[in-house]
Structure 1
Amino acid sequence: MELNRLFDLVPYQIAKFDKTDAVARKENGEWITYSSRDVKEIIDNLSLAFMKANIAAGDKVAIISENRPEWNFVDLALQQIGAISVPMYPTITSDDYAYIFDHAEVKMIFVGDTTIYEKAIEVAGDRKIYSFDKIDGVEHWTSLKETGLSGDLSLLEKSKAAVKSEDLFTIIYTSGTTGRPKGVMLTHHNVLSNVLSVSHIMSPPEGISKVLSFLPLCHIFERTASFCFFYLGFSIYYAENMDSIGENLKEVQPHVFNTVPRLLEKVYDKIVAKGYELSGIKKQLFFWALNLGLKYDPAADMGGWYNFQLKIANKLIFSKWREALGGNIMQINSGASALQPRLARVFWAAGIKVCEGYGLTETSPVVTASISNHEEIRIGWVGKIVKDVEVKIAEDGEILVKGPNVMQGYYKNPEMTAEVLKNGWFHTGDIGELDGNYLRITDRKKEMFKTSGGKYIAPQVMENKFKESTLIEQLIVVGDNRNFPGALIVPSFDGLREYCKRKDIPYTTDREMIQREDILEKYQSEVDSLNKYFGKWEQIKRFRLLPEAWGVESGELTPTMKLKRKVIHQKYADEIEAIYQV
């Protein structure tokens, strides 16, 4: 059948796969599943209910919830009547809610739970709110759905037929590292073209195919991926929460999941910490296998002796890593920020294919993707340009993108739209290089800075490298117009506790530990060992350790875990100044 709108993927899935578990969520210890046909029946009833509630084509409806099947139901139901979804991060402030509700002219709101409802109701005004959880005094989403049971399906069919591929289906407000969020306007064609471009490079296994979903659906990475999974016939199981991912992986035994590098870094750090807890021959074998994996290049012939050792390491050590991920993982897709090459190497060595990609909300999102085979993977690069997308590098190194996946513009912001869309090319703000069809990201154009000596510093490259240390959780490189680069460092306090345990150093509090002379010396040693990867003008000369991690709610990170550099510079102005005091 012809696919022109995203909601066409539902009848397509029924015709091709007719899944018994299209989407699933764990409730009260049990996995509740919805078949492909269940999904169609629910979204049809919801579409009719929206029509009865006077939600029409072009109207905006906000969805603020953690991942769950109801998220998909509302999204797809709105699409069928030409209404526009406005997904929002649950973690942003009520002030951000207020801005988006007003800017997007939201008419109705769906919230996941009580915490979100309490933030939303503060600023909702007279907008109707429905909840996915049962909350006293709040109408449940099923009460709305039931009003559609008596609706006329022929009217719905007319409504669906009126929706064109070029019509807007969502406005996604990107958090941004400065200023108010921008509303990215995406059409059915934008995202569907990206779904088809990406799907042809993934091959689901025969029979039952599952994914575990935990990245926020309000972010375009997981949202587009969910449409890919519908198209490819994967069952989508939503993790209960971020803390239950390990348990859910073992239960669901998925073939694929999407992640961000920070989560892989945490998985790796936990694995290494467990290695340190071993003793004798077990500990020796663990670190022998780990060091072997860190040298691996999946695209190179590593030689007979190395391959023989790797086979032993896989049997004795790495097999346990695969079991911890459910035992069936064929591919992990990593995006949103840079993946440390050492993590890609060691996971590929362990038979866990981590495939890095690159994209932006404005590009629906995928621009490049890594292919999960040894011949085409290239560590340190973000994969190949996907089908129907064009990429070129501007004279100043900026990555420019053209294709059917590029957004229509920023909602109610023609000036900013004109800044990034020029002659059909979207200006990403990222700096990179092309080698044939392969792309490498080197930095953000606006984040590069000059020292007072006139030397350019690319902070992201350095920050990514320094976070390879098991003792460093977060780091920002500073030094704009200063005579040398410095850094603010948030320690990995779990890693620090493990280090202190090995060295018989009594651990008191985080704040006290980072003031100890022997701990400061250890961090100086870590910085010195990583400085060697950079030119003399780039090396971090001085740093300050901070006692508390940066977060989304405290304002230092965007919901996609990017540093809000301006906020951090303002908040820690005294600490930064202290770095440069003689």
Structure 2
Amino acid sequence: MSASEAWATAAAETTIPQLFSRNAAEFPQRPALTDNGREPRTWTWAEARHEVHELAAGLTALGLQAGQTMLIMMANRAEHWLIDVAAAHIGAVPSTLYPTLSQDQVHYIAQHSRARVVVLDGADQLRRWSKVLRNVSTIEHVVVLDEAAMVSADHRFRTWERLRVLGEQRLHDDPDLVQRTSAAIVPNHPAAILYTSGTTGGQKGVVLTHRNICFAAAALHQITQPERHAPRLCYLPLAHIAERMVGLYAAIHDAAHVHFCADQSRILAALTHARPALFFGVPRIWEKLAAALQKIPAEQRANPQALRARIGLDRALWPSSGAAPIDIGLLEFFSTIGLDIFELWGMTETTGCVTTNSAGARRPGTVGRAVPGVEIRTSPDGEVLVRGPLVCAGYLQPDGVIRPATDADGWLRTGDVGVLDADGFLTITGRKKELIISAGGKNIAPTAVENALTAHPLIGHALAFGDGRPYLVALLVLDEDTAPKWARERGIAFEDRVELAAHPAVRSEVEAAVRAANERLNRPEQVKRYQILGQQWGVEGGELTPTLKLKRRVIHDKYADIIDQLYGD
């Protein structure tokens, strides 16, 4: 067996507890986790192992068993990471929920997953769970980190410290408990459930196995080749597959040193402190980092390495972007300071990254080549198909059955439309279900139009519409950070967003932005009419998914009258 095949075979037969135990055995005194929250602390791998075992034993004391679900709603902090890994050690299936979910969404997931244990930060999260705790009968225990959020009158509640004490007692009586439970886990056992919030439909519970996760982490390592103990930054919600891979699973695989950032508004400070080797950012994050660099006086921008250090990416081996198209201008901006952003593509069902650009194999505008051990091809209608060990086990059904996500030959239909070039580089052109078919029969990918519109910093979100219509129209939302600042710099007074959106100077600037976008688009893709909205789009309002993708059906319904007016005479 060649070395190129050996890693894949080994990865496919590995579990998360095996990787974690290896780190604790081989690197006991090396740092594993650093949390700079209210009480800064660093855990070595030995200390992390001790705490994981305590928590795992505590969960068994609560009655959580292999195959049962544990739901988590916590900030990015060490305790979140540790309890997640602890559940994996006893064969339970952790699932992190986005902190922005509504009570109804939380209720659906709790009921659908038949969760037995829930772990929460404190009062802010508890408010979103009030409906669940009244109505979902499967929940037997609620663990809260903040003791002030304890509901003493509810017998299901436990504090974090009480969970640890239970674990300590259980390990005193049975020291080999966690080693025994983790040894019983096999690679095809479920290791996590991630609930995807689709842009058109409801939430689906994607089941990932230990094999999926360990193979995906190993494949990413083959591409990036980070050194042992190199730092990572965990800052996106752990409900996001990219963060679970980079900040949790691949970090364990690589024996990395994970730093936590609970508040994304402080990401710049967190980056400069951690200086990560691997970093994933959605385009919005890269826009914010670019804006930070552009604030630096011109005379201080002569040294590219110093500029990379100003955003904490001077040691980055794999600065990457995904989840949405990134503007080519942004890629070019970072290239001028010697920072090549590697575009990638993947989804929850593929345990994250399927294709990526990398050092020595980068083609801007594409999402790169398939990671090792994975096959990709396109169907006759352009849909991208994926096959390999990182494709999920399937979708959890309400009765606990896992429905396969692949066809009989193992191919996953991703729903994304793309083109593979002769060198194996993939270009994603849109979502199959989102394609606009104009009245003239032209197929148009709305994301291409929307990306051109949001290239202007004043436009935060754009939705293109035109299915069955003679031309395209667009709904535009001003950027919630940039637009007010832009207005103040020009002495524009406004009371609210509606007034700002209606201001002549804003309308003139947006008009110029639409013209510039149209110049980059072919004729059928060009926007003929548009409306600047005075509202913001967000997760709470229902217009965006937790990963900040447009929920098109919701927006279409919500603004149907405005869309109709744009097609009026």
TM-score in terms of structure 2 length: 0.90
Deviation at 1:416, TM superposition (A): 11
1:493-547 deviation per Cα after TM superposition (whole angstroms, max 9, x unaligned): 5444455456555555432232233432332221111101112121000100011
Given candidates 73, 81, 86, the residue that maps to 1:77 is 86
1:388–1:403 CA contact under 8 A, matched in 2: yes
Q: How has the CA–CA distance of structure 1 residues 20 and 97 changed in structure 2, closer, same or farther, with 3 Å as cutoff? A: same
Deviations 1:9-57 (A, max 9, x none): 21222244335320121222x5311110111111112222222222111
Instruction: State the one-letter code of the partner of 1:377.
Output: R
Give the aligned residue type for 2:373: D
Tell me the distance in 1 between the aligned counterparts of 2:244 and 2:227: 22
Aligned pair partner of 1:90 in 86, 99, 103: 99
User: In the alignment, is residue 247 of structure 1 matched against residue 301 of structure 2?
Assistant: no
The answer to whether the Cα contact below 8 Å between 2:261 and 2:270 also exists between their aligned partners in 1 is: yes
Rounded to whole Å, the distance in 1 between the matches of 2:130 and 2:123 is: 10
Secondary structure of 2:83's partner?
Answer: helix
Matching residue of 2:413: 427
* Percent identity (aligned): 30
Q: C-alpha separation between the residues in 2 aligned to 1:478 and 1:449?
A: 7
Which is further off, 255-264 or 484-493? 255-264
Amino acid at match of 1:260: V
CA distance in 1, matches of 2:131, 2:493: 46
Question: Which one-letter code corresponds to 1:147 in the other structure?
Answer: L
1:135 to 130, 135, 148: 148
Structure 1 residues 40 and 95, CA, compared in 2 at 3 Å: closer, same or farther? same
Q: Which amino acid aligns with 2:207?
A: M
1:540 aligns with 2:550: no
| One-letter amino acid matched to 1:345 | E
CA separation of 1:493 and 1:51: change in aligned 2, threshold 3 A? closer
Supply the distance in 1 between the matched residues of 2:55 and 2:545 (Cα, whole angstroms).
Answer: 32
Encode CA deviations 1:411-446: one digit per residue, 9 max, x unaligned. Answer: 117999567535310000000111222211110000
Answer yes or no: is 1:42 the counterpart of 2:38.
no
> 1:340 Cα shift?
1.8
Structure 2 partner of 1:161: 183
CA pair 20-31 structure 1, distance change in 2 beyond 3 A: farther
Out of 336, 346, 364, the residue aligned to residue 351 of structure 2 is: 364
- Structure 1 residues 19 and 326: alpha-carbon distance in aligned structure 2, compared to 1, 3 A threshold: farther
Counterpart Cα distance in 1 of 2:219 and 2:313? 28
Q: Which amino acid aligns with 1:100?
A: I
Q: Would you say 1:510 and 2:531 are equivalent positions?
A: no
2:109 to 100, 108, 122: 100
1:19/1:235 contact within 8 Å kept? no
Partner of 2:201: 179
Q: In 1, distance between residues paired with 2:403 and 2:60? A: 32
Aligned to 1:526: 513
Kindly tell me: are residues 185 and 326 of structure 1, through their superposed partners in 2, closer, same or farther at Cα, counting changes over 3 Å? Answer: closer
Query: What secondary structure is seen at the aligned counterpart in 2 of 1:344?
Result: helix
Q: Does 1:9 align with 2:19?
A: yes
Post-superposition Cα deviations, 1:304-347, rounded to whole Å, max 9, x if no partner, equal xxxxxxxxx652x6733532326433432222222222222221
**1:61 CA drift (Å):** 1.0
1:564 aligns with 2:543: no
The 1-side partners of 2:340 and 2:129 are apart by 40
5 Å-filtered alignment, 1:59-78, equals: 59-78=68-87
Aligned to 1:149: 168
Specify every segment of 5 or more residues in structure 1 that has no aligned partner in the other structure, as ranges. 287-312
In structure 1, what is the Cα distance between the partners aligned to 2:498 and 2:525? Answer: 29
Are 1:13 and 1:19, in contact at CA under 8 Å, matched by a contact in 2? no
Q: 1:397 aligns with which of 375, 379, 382?
A: 382
Secondary structure (helix, strand or coil) at the match of 1:158 reads helix
> Corresponding residue for 2:289?
267
Residue 4 of structure 2 is matched in structure 1 by none
Does the CA contact (< 8 Å) of 2:475 and 2:532 recur in 1? yes
Local SS of the residue matching 1:441:
strand
Aligned to 2:5: none
Say if 1:500 and 1:506, in contact at 8 Å, map to a contact too: yes
Task: For 2:378 and 2:313, locate their aligned partners in 1 and report how far apart those are by CA, in whole Å.
Answer: 40
- Structure 1 position 469, deviation (Å): 0.7
Q: Which moved more, 1:492-501 or 1:356-365?
A: 492-501
Alignment of 1:218 onto 2:204: no
Q: Residue 215 of structure 1 contacts residue 258 of structure 1 at CA under 8 Å; is this kept in 2?
A: no
Q: What CA distance in whole angstroms lies between the structure 2 residues aligned with 1:156 and 1:525? A: 63
Cα deviation digits, residues 448-484 of structure 1 (max 9, x gap): 0112222222101111122111221110001111111
Query: Does structure 1 retain, via aligned residues, the 8 Å contact 2:206–2:396?
Result: yes
Q: Distance in 2 between matches of 1:521 and 1:36?
A: 57
Instruction: Provide the rounded CA distance (Å) in 2 between the counterparts of 1:493 and 1:357.
Output: 27
Which is worse superposed, 340-349 or 209-218?
340-349
218-227 vs 150-159, greater mean Cα deviation: 150-159
Q: 1:407 to 1:47 in 2, by over 3 A?
A: same
- Which among 372, 380, 384 is matched to residue 365 of structure 2? 380
Distance 1:114 1:554, change over 3 A: same
On the 8 A contact 2:395/2:404 being kept in 1, the answer is no
Deviation string, structure 1 residues 180-227 (Cα, Å, up to 9, x no partner): 211111110011111111112223357x62112111112221112221
The one-letter code matched in structure 1 to 2:186 is: K
The answer (yes or no) to whether the contact 2:418–2:428 under 8 Å persists in 1 is: yes
The residue number in structure 1 matching 2:154 is none
- The question of whether the paired residues in 2 share the 8 Å contact of 1:18 and 1:36 is answered with yes
> Which stretch of structure 1 is more off in the superposition, 96-105 or 411-420?
411-420
2:428 to 433, 441, 452: 441
Residues 231 and 510 (structure 1 numbering): CA distance in 2 closer, same or farther, change over 3 Å? Answer: same
- C-alpha separation in 2, matches of 1:183 and 1:259: 24
- Tell me how many residue pairs correspond in the alignment: 543
How far did residue 239 of structure 1 move?
0.7
Aligned pairs for 1:400-479 (under 5 A) are 400-412=385-397, 417=403, 421-435=407-421, 436-479=423-466
Match of 1:23 in 2: 33
* Greater mean alpha carbon deviation, residues 391-400 or residues 143-152: 143-152
Q: Secondary structure at the match of 2:498?
A: helix
Q: Secondary structure at the match of 1:463?
A: helix
Counterpart selection for 2:133 from 124, 135, 145:
124
Contact persistence 1:420–1:428 (CA under 8 A): no
Q: Structure 1's 506 and 83: CA in aligned 2 closer, same or farther, altered over 3 A?
A: closer
Residue 225 of structure 2, aligned match among 200, 203, 215? 203
Kindly indicate whether the alpha-carbon contact (under 8 Å) linking 1:26 and 1:240 is maintained by their aligned counterparts in 2: no
Structure 1 match to 2:6: none
Instruction: Find the counterpart in structure 2 of residue 310 from structure 1.
Output: none
- Partner secondary structure for residue 336 of structure 1: coil
* Contact 2:487/2:493, CA 8 A, preserved across alignment: yes
**8 Å CA contact retained: 1:322, 1:350:** no
